[in-house]
A and B are shown apart, each in its own frame.
Chain A
Amino acid sequence: DAGVIQSPRHEVTEMGQEVTLRCKPISGHDYLFWYRQTMMRGLELLIYFNNNVPIDDSGMPEDRFSAKMPNASFSTLKIQPSEPRDSAVYFCASSPGVGEQFFGPGTRLTVL
């Protein structure tokens, strides 16, 4: 298996622009998680899905953030409009259940 796939790996955009991050989980995994990592705040859970259904989005910082999982093999995290404070590394992870989560390589987002 190729593991969790994220795209793009790097994104540089200007304040106010829409940003879409993409994730393909490991086939057969029922859970999908979106995290954000910064030096100041560490690793934060933004939202997670079970069987494509959002379970807990309490970590989503603002209404500017939205996430979807239209099918078992694809999820998006969208920021609209983006702001400089959104600059971070965004990770997607998937899990087959009660065990460990498998992380993707991350998307490094820079908002100018």
Chain B
Amino acid sequence: AQSVAQPEDQVNVAEGNPLTVKCTYSVSGNPYLFWYVQYPNRGLQFLLKYITGDNLVKGSYGFEAEFNKSQTSFHLKKPSALVSDSALYFCAVRDSSDSWGKLQFGAGTQVVVTP
């Protein structure tokens, strides 16, 4: 079975400061990992993914994430946060041994960036 944990319900950061949103996962096989962002009254938007290869993945809007196999983590980062980054962020995982395309989503982390 696959699972995802986002240990923080909310992250508060000042504009211009680094932003980190934490995610840990558990899968039987190799993980496929994803980050999504949801703005108010909108659907989820894909940010970035790790399938294989380089552990540091770069995505949309200046976000990046680092895959750490030993710590089973896939934390989302942005060097300098913007007020417009305030949104709900979801981490998701899929087990590579699963032949279907089902993703397991975390509970989400609300990011609040203050001016």
Contact = CB atoms under 8 A, between A and B. Distances in A.
A and B co-occur in one complex: yes
Contact of B43 (A42, A45, A91, A97): A91
Nearest to A9: B41
Given A43-B108, A91-B43, A91-B44, A101 B100 contact: no
B42 A105 contact: yes
- Interface size class of chain A, counting residues whose CB lies under 8 Å from the partner chain: 20 to 34
A104 to B, nearest CB: 6
Nearest to B90: A43
B115 interface: no
Contacts of B42: 105-106
Interface string B96-108: 0000111101011
> Chain A interface secondary structure, helix, strand, loop or mixed?
strand
A48 B49 contact: no
B108 to A, nearest CB: 6
A28 B108 CA distance: 29
A108 B101 CA distance: 25
Interface string B41-62: 1111110010100000000000
Given A43-B108, A91-B43, A91-B44, A101 B103 contact: yes
A93 B46 CA distance: 11
A33 B103 CA distance: 10
Nearest to A105: B43
6 contacts: A33-B101, A33-B102, A43-B44, A50-B101, A55-B100, A99-B51
Given A98-B101, A99-B49, 20 more contacts: A31-B100, A31-B101, A42-B107, A43-B105, A43-B108, A50-B100, A55-B102, A56-B100, A91-B43, A93-B43, A97-B101, A98-B32, A100-B49, A101-B46, A101-B101, A103-B36, A103-B44, A105-B43, A106-B42, A106-B43
Interface of A: 4, 30-31, 33, 42-43, 45, 48, 50, 55-56, 91, 93, 95, 97-106, 108
